Every structure is written in C-alpha cells, then in structure tokens.
Amino acid sequence: MRRHLPFLTWGCLAILLLLIACQTVPFTQRKRLILVPESTERELGATTYQDILTNSKLSEDLEEVRRVKEIGMRIANVTDRPDYSWEFNVIDDNEVVNAFCLPGGKVAVYTGIMKVSSTDTELAVIIGHEIAHAIARHGAERMTQLLVVELGGMALEEALKKQTKKTIELGKVAYGAGTQLLFVLPYSRTHENEADRIGLIFMAKAGYDPHAAIDFWEKMEKEFGGQEPPEFLSTHPSSQRRIENLKKWLPEALKYYQS
C-alpha cells in the first residue's frame, strides 16, 4: 500500500488543482488550467518588455509610431481591460517579421512586419492577434504547462526509483520527447488558433473589416513562398489551415463589425 502513496498523492493534487485553477478562455470558452497569478504574470511582462526595449533600437519614424499607437489603442479599447497599462512601441529591425503583446498590454511591432502590412486594417490583423494572446492569458497558461511538466517529471522519477540507472535515463528521455510532441506543442497551436479567432473579433469590434485577415494571410503565404515548417512540428498553424479557420470564424466576427 505504501508504494502506491506517491501516485495517490499526485492524483489528489491534480484533482485539487483542476478544481481551484480551472479557467475559461474568453470567446472560445475553452477550459484550461492557470496556476500563475495575474499580478505575477503582468509583473513579468512589464520587466521583460523593458529589457527588450532597452536592448533594441526603437523607430524614430514618428508617423510609423503614431500609426501603431492609434491602431493599437483602438483595439485595446474594445478588450474590456482598462486595468491594463497599455503601451505600444515600434522596434526598428527590418529582418524581424513579427510583433508581440506581453501580459499587461505591452505591445511591440517590428518594422519588418510593417513592411508587409501596407494598410491600417492589415496592421490591425497583426496587433489584434497579438493582443488576443495577452487577453487570453496564453503566457500564464504556458507557464502553468511548464510547472505541470516539472511535477510530472518528479512523479516519473519517483516511479523509476527502484529501476536500473539505464532504465531511469531512458524513461526520462522518453518522457521529455513525449511532452514536447504531444503536450507542449499542441497547446501552442491551440493558442495560435485562439489568437486568430479572438483577434478577428477584436479588430471587428474596433471597426476594422475582418475580411482583411483572410486577404492578409493569403498575401503572406505568397510573400514567403509557403516556406514554413511542417504543421505537426510547428507551434503555428500552416497558412492554409489558418485561412480555412478564419473563413469559418468570419461570420462570428462580422456580427461585431456590423453592429
């Protein structure tokens, strides 16, 4: 009976965590586990944001910066998070085709992605997507996943204590590979899909035509020649899958746009 106690302990702990920390994602209604307090998440976001800005070259193009701030605030104002300390900056790096929003509303857009977003509506697609990650608290969910993986590793080590050294090492390697492919990455793809869907709603609520999201990702697919990693090993959905999903979610977003 005693040797089964660790498993009973971990099982009870898992059930307790699910009861206490289960939360619902806005709009998608997906249930997920969040163990990280929002105050901690936002503090980490603010610290990381300042570190990034300190070590980056900020754009001196006033029109470029104005455009990002104006579009960003239009979207921020429809997220129902006035408690966020919204901040928008443009990082001068044409090699980086990306943008991000850290917890608490800390947004940065790289000039590299602004070069391929020729209209305000296309830029709203990008900013809406990134803000959606923060509103859905995907960062806190990822941190929770890492905590759960660490706890799982501890449970595995307990289970293999009486096995040979070689068996223990093989077990740990197998566990690591399994969590990477079947646990961590699939959640990341889920996050990207949710950010697309919620971002589509945010841009529509802010007065930007959500049809533009489909046009933008079709343009991006042509721009980069479809050169992207296989979807199975990628945290992002393929361009084709993304476009199919956006078409499926478009009617929902149009209700907000037309109202």
130: annotated active-site residue: yes
Domain count, the chain: 1
- In the prediction, which pLDDT does 15 show? 59
Strand bridging mode 87-91 / 106-110: parallel
pLDDT-based confidence at residue 147 (cuts at 50, 70, 90): confident
Mean pLDDT of the chain: 84
How confident is the model over 88-142, as pLDDT tens digits?
Answer: 999 999 999 889 999 999 999 999 999 999 899 999 999 999 999 999 999 989 8
- In the prediction, which pLDDT does 161 show? 67
Q: Find the Cα–Cα–Cα–Cα dihedral 219, 223, 66, 77, rounded to 10°.
A: 40
Asked if the structure places residue 181 within a domain, the reply is yes
pLDDT, mean of residues 210-219: 94
Asked if the structure places residue 5 within a domain, the reply is no
Amino acid at residue number 209: D
Asked if the structure places residue 26 within a domain, the reply is yes
Which carries the bigger pLDDT value, residue 170 or residue 136? 136
Asked if the structure places residue 7 within a domain, the reply is no
pLDDT, mean of residues 191-212: 97
- In the prediction, which pLDDT does 148 show? 77
d(CA 186, CA 164): 32
SS3 at position 91: strand
Closest CA to 84 of 67, 102, 69, 68: 102
Asked if the structure places residue 173 within a domain, the reply is yes
Domain range enclosing 190: 19-258
Q: Is 92 exposed, middle or buried (0-12, 13-18, 19+ CB in 10 A)?
A: middle
Asked if the structure places residue 14 within a domain, the reply is no
How confident is the model over 240-258, as pLDDT tens digits?
Answer: 899 999 999 999 999 999 9
pLDDT, mean of residues 172-198: 72
Which carries the bigger pLDDT value, residue 46 or residue 229? 46
Q: Is 242 exposed, middle or buried (0-12, 13-18, 19+ CB in 10 A)?
A: buried
Among 87, 122, 130, 194, which one carries the catalytic annotation?
130
Task: Tell me the β-bridge partners of 107.
Answer: 88, 101
Closest CA to 128 of 69, 58, 52, 204: 204
> What is the share, in percent, of the chain residues with pLDDT greater than 70?
74
Task: Tell me the β-bridge partners of 89.
Answer: 108
Positive or negative torsion for Cα 182, 184, 185, 188 = positive
Asked if the structure places residue 219 within a domain, the reply is yes
Question: For residue 109, which phi and psi values (nearest 5 degrees)?
Answer: -120, 130
Asked if the structure places residue 9 within a domain, the reply is no
Asked if pLDDT for residue 54 goes beyond 70, the answer is: yes
pLDDT, mean of residues 64-91: 98
How confident is the model over 151-167, as pLDDT tens digits?
Answer: 776 665 666 566 667 66
pLDDT, mean of residues 208-225: 89
- In the prediction, which pLDDT does 30 show? 95
